[in-house]
Amino acid sequence: MNRQKIAKAIYKLDAWLESMRNEQGYTGPISHWWASCLLYSGPMIDWRYEGIISGYLNLHRITQNTRWLSRAITAGDDICQAQLPSGKFFNSSFQVGPIEGGTPHEAAVDVALLELATYLKEMNDDRWEKYYRTAGLNLKEYYLSELWQGEAFLDQHWNNTLVPNKNATAIEALLLYQTLSGDSMETYVFKAVEVIFRGQVLDNSLRHGGVVHLGTGKHQLAIGIYTARIVGAMVRLYEQYPNPEYRRSFQAMGEFLLRLINEHGTYFGYYPHGKLIRCPNWISPSGDVLRALLVLQPHMNIPQNKIEQLVKVLFTNQHASGGIATAYKLDKKGAKYLLKSELPDFRDVLPVVGWCDKTFRALTLLATAEAMNSALSEIGHNSYHEMDCTWNKQLCLYVEDTKEIHLTAVDGKKTLYQWRKGEWYPKIYRL
Amino acid sequence: MKTPFDPYAIYNHYSLEIACYWLHQKQPQSIRLCTDNADIVIAIARRLMWTKQLIVETENIVTALQNHLNLKTTLYQPNMVVEAAFVPFSRQMYPIQPIAQWLVVVGENSFSYKSLLYPGQVGDNVFALKSWFEKRYRITDKVSLLEPYSMLRWSIASLAGSRFPSIHFQMGQRALDNIYVRNYLWWSGYIIVMIGEQIYEQAKNR
């Protein structure tokens, strides 16, 4: 594995993430499977902070360069400033749009804060308490008071669906909180893990090992990126409570994830009866798949070529601006066939902070101090990126630099979309 | 329709989004939120915290925003000068149009599929709304949401269900991708959103 290339990709991602900030935090439009949020583009305190803070902490751990710790602290301060009187976080609902109470986003934000608090506490830095208190308030006032219903954490207080990956992120936050506070969270953790077991497919089919997103109702979709997020939680749980059942479960998830990796990213998942969902093929969200494979390595055989294949996809799709494309064929969502000759959709090429953080975090797990130091001198300043894509079957030109994202219909040269980085809404929206 | 405001509902979410986008384009320094419904004001305020001054109609709303979003707002006083006014689902509370340079209005339309499902329960309509708006403002942009083609796409998505899942997801996607309608059918959408400039202001600017 070329560590130098990994280090360069990390520096470019760092520069891109900085370009997406305003005074309140990280901004930007969002594309996703469920829906895309292309109008509101202002600050959101959602799961983007998990990958950003964990990634910067990984870099500081490896290099001891204070630049990285200071980035993590700045991100932690964004969150603390955005905590609402209810304990929830301002505009935490990612693709749903500007509204608080997003799941698993608020738990993911807690994971970020608690990882930061743990790291600072280990360094005898008193600032840890601020981040610990902010996460503790959210967990107690929102997760334990509003979302806990005796059996598991609800999707929302008004929605009885029990979503496995959302419970998994809550488990991660509670395990971190338990370690820092000394208060037992076992009652919640051991019940929430049952939701994951109930959602996991163990039938020796192609879906074997995948976890069904129970919020997809009759569609019963076994989704790769959500299964990957569960792996992170299950491995963390197993390391504290070495129950062989957990190990068997995450090993099966690992096998499922390996089946989804392809030369262009990771397939979305499977329909019931083992039909593969090829569209969208995830790119930057596959960072969570890469992270899952890396944390699984001590526990099962993960072929190195699969990791290298995924890293290569991420490199290939990194824009000159540093951001990484989200997917291929979000406009054909749910399709079982992928025509690789078609141009990507605007939403595909759009880099999204709440997806790129996942790639950023995963790549930092592969970084070395030596490569990070030597790559520093090679970082260039070219951040202009342009490529063809489509919107509603029109041929378009996507352009991004440090200041803005711009989409123009080639025929007629009409601007369809223009967003100045850091702004709360696009300047032009004609999609 | 007198139901509690649901900020997650597609028609509420997308109508507030386009209205706030238009407001952001104009960059007013003060925005008056013309409704007595605190839930609607909270949903809008989350999107407008870039402006210098948010002005609300009641003390209760000032308190609700402070308690909910930690946001300080100003209570509206008669003759207060505001740059933009936003009338969300509350047009009938204002027989006389609020005064501002820019006005944005979101309203329901009884000439839509909704009246087929709930006859007589949709309290406003596109023509009354437009006529009310144009007494003081010239419309500069308008869209509607959930017009017949959009409802057709949703219906196909719903019928396809889990038996034809790829049709279900792709039709749902197309419905969302085409949610804002500006064409000749705009008058038939369930939700109407308009922005306009005050006629007097236009004359002044000329």
Domain membership of residue B115 (yes or no) is yes
Question: Does the CB of B67 have a partner CB in chain A at under 8 Å?
Answer: yes
Question: Does the CB of A420 have a partner CB in chain B at under 8 Å?
Answer: no
CB contact under 8 A, A331 and B173: yes
What pLDDT is recorded for position B48?
97
Query: Is residue A291 pLDDT above 60, yes or no?
Result: yes
The bridge status of strand A265-270 relative to strand A222-223 is: antiparallel
Query: Is residue A230 pLDDT above 70, yes or no?
Result: yes
**B54 SS3 class:** strand
- The CA R_g of chain B, rounded to the nearest whole Å, is 18
Between CA B129 and CA B107 the distance in angstroms is: 7
What pLDDT is recorded for position B202?
60
Q: If you write DSSP's letter for every residue of B152-206 in order, what string do you get? A: HHHHHHHHHTTTSHHHHHHHHHHHHHT-SB-STTGGGSSEEEEEEEEHHHHHHH-
Domain membership of residue B192 (yes or no) is yes
Buried-exposed string A312-336: b where 16+ CB fall within 10 A, e elsewhere: ebbeebbbbbbbbbbbbbbbbbbbe
Name every residue whose Cβ is closer than 8 Å to that of residue A263 and which is 6 or more positions away in sequence. A309, A313
Continuous segment of H or E residues that includes residue A223: strand A222-223
Higher per-residue pLDDT: A382 or A246:
A246
Domain span at residue B46 reads 10-147+181-199
What pLDDT is recorded for position A328?
95
Q: Give the relative orientation of helices A128-138 and A66-81 as an angle to the nearest 10 degrees.
A: 40
Question: Does the CB of A331 have a partner CB in chain B at under 8 Å?
Answer: yes
Other CB atoms within 10 A of residue A201 CB: 21
Question: Does the CB of A40 have a partner CB in chain B at under 8 Å?
Answer: yes
- Count, residues in chain A: 431
List beta partners, residue A259. Answer: none
Between CA B54 and CA A355 the distance in angstroms is: 33
Domain membership of residue B152 (yes or no) is no
Between CA A217 and CA A282 the distance in angstroms is: 22
Buried-exposed string A88-124: b where 16+ CB fall within 10 A, e elsewhere: bbbbbbbbbbbbbbbbbbbbbbbbbbbbbbbbbbeee
CA atoms within 13 A on the CB side of A182: 0
Quote the DSSP letter at residue B78: T
Query: Is residue A367 pLDDT above 90, yes or no?
Result: yes
What is the mean predicted confidence (pLDDT) over A93-117? 97
What pLDDT is recorded for position A1?
82
Query: At CA A148, angle to CA A147 and CA A152, rounded to 5?
Result: 115
Question: Which residue matches tokens 């129970």?
Answer: A214
Query: At CA A268, angle to CA A263 and CA A271, rounded to 5?
Result: 125
Alpha helices in B28-164 (DSSP H): 38-45, 59-69, 113-117, 126-134, 148-160
Between CA B80 and CA B82 the distance in angstroms is: 6
Which chain B residue is nearest to residue A330, measuring alpha carbons? B173
Which chain B residue is nearest to residue A272, measuring alpha carbons? B162
Strand order in the sheet with B102-108: B74-75, B53-56, B30-33, B84-88, B102-108, B191-198, B137-145
Question: Does the CB of A315 have a partner CB in chain B at under 8 Å?
Answer: no
Share of chain A above pLDDT 70, in %: 99
**For residue B134, what are the CA distances in angstroms to B21, B62, B131?**
21, 30, 5
CB B87 within 8 A of CB B103: yes
Give A303-316 pLDDT, tens digit per residue.
Answer: 999 999 999 999 99
CB B196 within 8 A of CB B103: yes
Name every residue whose Cβ is closer than 8 Å to that of residue A239 and which is 6 or more positions away in sequence. none
Instruction: Provide the shortest C-alpha distance from residue B24 to chain A (in Å).
Output: 7
Continuous segment of H or E residues that includes residue A226: helix A224-240
What pLDDT is recorded for position B147?
92
B106 closest CA partner among B26, B39, B35: B35
Which member of B21, B68, B169 has the closest CB to residue A426? B21
Which member of A334, A424, A425 has the closest CB to residue B170? A334
Question: Which residue matches tokens 């919107």?
Answer: A391
CB contact under 8 A, B13 and A97: yes
Q: Chain A 77-96, CB below 8 Å of chain B: which residues?
A: 84-86, 90-91, 96
Quote the DSSP letter at residue A383: -
Distance, CA of B24 to chain centre: 14
Find the Cα–Cα–Cα–Cα dihedral A190, A194, A200, A203, rounded to 10°. 110
CATH architecture for segment(s) A3-429: Alpha/alpha barrel (1.50)
What is the ipTM, given to two decimal places? 0.94
Question: Does the CB of A431 have a partner CB in chain B at under 8 Å?
Answer: yes
Question: Does the CB of B50 have a partner CB in chain A at under 8 Å?
Answer: yes
Q: Identify all chain B residues contacting A39, using CB atoms and an 8 Å cutoff.
A: 17-18, 20-21
What pLDDT is recorded for position A339?
73
Q: Kindly list the domain boundaries of chain A, sorted by start residue.
A: 3-429
Give A176-195 pLDDT, tens digit per residue.
Answer: 999 999 999 999 999 999 99
Between CA A26 and CA A42 the distance in angstroms is: 8
Number of domain units in chain B: 1
CB contact under 8 A, B46 and A85: no
CB contact under 8 A, B43 and A97: no
Residue in A39, A89, A218, A339 to test binding to B, most B beta-carbons within 10 Å: A39
pLDDT band at A338 (very low <50, low <70, confident <90, very high): confident
Buried-exposed string A25-40: b where 16+ CB fall within 10 A, e elsewhere: bbbbbbbbbebbbbbb
Domain of residue B143, CATH code = 3.40.50.150
What are the structure tokens assigned to B120, written together?
A: 């007589």
Which chain B residue is nearest to residue A89, measuring alpha carbons? B69
What is the mean predicted confidence (pLDDT) over A311-326? 96
Domain membership of residue B122 (yes or no) is yes
What pLDDT is recorded for position B4?
86
What pLDDT is recorded for position B191?
96
Instruction: Provide the shortest C-alpha distance from residue A39 to chain B (in Å).
Output: 6
What pLDDT is recorded for position A45?
98
Query: Is residue A51 pLDDT above 80, yes or no?
Result: yes
CB contact under 8 A, B166 and A334: yes
What pLDDT is recorded for position A310?
97
Query: Is residue A344 pLDDT above 60, yes or no?
Result: yes
CB A96 within 8 A of CB A35: yes
Residuewise pLDDT in 10s, chain B (206 residues): 557 899 999 999 999 999 999 999 999 999 999 999 999 999 999 999 999 999 999 999 999 999 999 999 999 999 899 999 999 999 999 999 999 999 999 999 999 988 888 888 888 999 999 999 999 999 999 999 999 999 999 999 999 998 999 999 999 999 999 999 999 999 999 999 999 999 976 666 65
Instruction: Provide the shortest C-alpha distance from residue B164 to chain A (in Å).
Output: 10
Amino acid at B92: Q
Continuous segment of H or E residues that includes residue B95: none
CB contact under 8 A, A427 and B8: no
What are the structure tokens assigned to A367, written together?
A: 């970084």
Question: Does the CB of A424 have a partner CB in chain B at under 8 Å?
Answer: yes
- Residue A97 region by backbone torsions, left for phi larger than 0, else alpha for psi between -120 and 50, else beta: left
What pLDDT is recorded for position B204?
63
Between CA A3 and CA A139 the distance in angstroms is: 38
Domain membership of residue B93 (yes or no) is yes
What pLDDT is recorded for position B53?
97
List beta partners, residue A25. Answer: A22
Which member of B50, B165, B178 has the closest CB to residue A424? B50
Question: Which residue matches tokens 């991004």?
Answer: A400
CB contact under 8 A, B162 and A219: yes
CB contact under 8 A, A90 and B13: no
Find the Cα–Cα–Cα–Cα dihedral A361, A363, A364, A368, rounded to 10°. 170
